Amino acid sequence: MTRRSELTDYVFTSESVSEGHPDKVCDQISDAVLDAYLTEDPYSRVAVECLATTDTLVIAGEVRGPDLGVKRIEEIARKQI
């Protein structure tokens, strides 16, 4: 068995994306949807993710809180884009 202190060789990696990158846009959309739910009901439980590609955006997840409706969530997403 190897002790943790003996493991000295490792590679540190990280990702940095620029403004407009799909990851950043998706994070902004997910955050805006979360904010909308919490504004309506501060006790909402929200787990929302976005998936984006050319001409397609999928908002997926689960929510326990008020029914914002598909139209409202679509408006929130379009405003962020």
Q: What is the pLDDT of residue 51?
A: 92
Residue 29 CB burial class (10 angstroms; 0-12, 13-18, ≥19): buried
CA distance 30 to 65: 16
CATH of the domain at 23: 3.30.300.10
Whether residue 27 is contained in a domain is answered as yes
Residue 32 inside a domain? The answer is yes
- Mean pLDDT by groups of 10 residues along the chain of 81 residues: 63 73 86 97 96 92 95 96 86
Number of domains in the chain: 1
pTM for this entry:
0.74
26 touches 17 (CB < 8 A): no
The secondary structure element, H or E, covering residue 28 is: helix 22-40
